[in-house]
Amino acid sequence: MTDRFLHGKLALVTGASRGIGAATAEALAAAGAHVVLTARTTQDLEQVEERIHAAGGTATIAPLDLTDGDNIARLAAGVGGRWQALDVLVFNAAMLGTLAPVPAIDGKELNRLLTLNVIAQHAMIAGFDPMLRKSEAGRLIAITSGVAQRPRAFWGAYGASKAAFETLVLAYGDEVRNTSAIRVAIVNPGPTRTVMRARAYPGEDPATLKEPSAVGEAIRALLAEDFETGRRLELPR
């Protein structure tokens, strides 16, 4: 079923090869958007693209490593050379890292985690800001975690990165609020059946968790709203 807001629009989803990213991309494509899929693994992206096409939607894959700023600049140039405006940008790609007490956090791993979870997001904003501004209603959706606002033992590294991520995207939203149609929303998926969740909670029964498709549909519904920057969507278990 097409959506009035999404039909004929362009969306880009990071971390779109599996889990919440893939489910979100499929939901947006089903609603009529053309979706650019980004992630590191070409084979997994191709499978998502095939599912979208089989369902009657359209998508383009763009395999890349977001930790390389040059890759992001090339992606922005490539997308900008093919399309005039970007209507939806979904920041889903993230690294969990090792859960550990703060004094035991590995510095090198923390650097990699912050590079993907924060620095790469800044590079994406810088690269795609011109295209978002050209949209009649540009939307940036940032996927976060409850530990960004509610610190938890052993989650210091990941939680700190998500807190910084939220601050970054919301500051951007506030900056462009009065000079563009861009609006920024934060989505906390809550417990969801993903690979990252399984790594964090290896003893958890996945049958007790919602499917990523539920998150994808919630994001599609959110995009149909006329929300203001700062909108926060918290999904239940």
Active-site residue numbers?
Answer: 158
Other C-beta atoms lying within 10 Å of the C-beta of residue 54: 8
Which of 7, 10, 188 lies closest to 83, judged by CA? 10
CA distances from 201 to 148, 175, 188 (A): 18, 37, 17
Q: What share of the chain is helix, strand, coil (3-state, %, to 5)?
A: 50, 15, 35
The backbone torsions φ and ψ at residue 165, rounded to the nearest 5 degrees and listed phi first, read -60, -45
Dist. CA 211–CA 192, nearest whole Å? 6
Listed in order, strand segments (DSSP E) in 84-170 are: 88-91, 139-143
The backbone torsions φ and ψ at residue 213, rounded to the nearest 5 degrees and listed phi first, read -60, -30
The backbone torsions φ and ψ at residue 41, rounded to the nearest 5 degrees and listed phi first, read -95, 110
